Amino acid sequence: MRPFWVGLENYPLVSDGLDFYIESSILVGGILVLLIIAEVFTHIFISKGRIDISSVSFITALKGNHKYSLYFLFPITLLFEELLFRGIIFNFLLSYFTPFFTILISAGIFGIYHIHILILSKNNALGLIFIIFSFFLGLILGKIVFYFGILGCWVVHLLIVSYIYLRWNHFSMQLGKKNEK
Angle of the 124-180 helix axis to the 67-82 helix axis, nearest 10? 160
Domain range annotation of the chain: 67-170
Q: How many CB atoms lie within 10 A of CB 67?
A: 10
> Residue length, the chain?
181
For 112-167, how does the pLDDT look when each residue is reduced to its tens digit (9 = 90+)? 998 887 787 777 888 888 899 999 999 999 988 888 888 889 999 999 988 888 88
pLDDT tens, residue by residue, 60-83: 766 666 667 677 888 998 999 999
Can you tell me the distance from the alpha carbon of 83 to that of 166, in angstroms, rounded to the nearest whole number?
24
pLDDT in tens, 86-106: 989 998 999 999 989 999 999
Nearest to 104 by CA among 13, 3, 4, 14: 14
CA-closest candidate to residue 142, choices 38, 7, 37:
7
For the entire predicted model, the pTM comes to 0.82
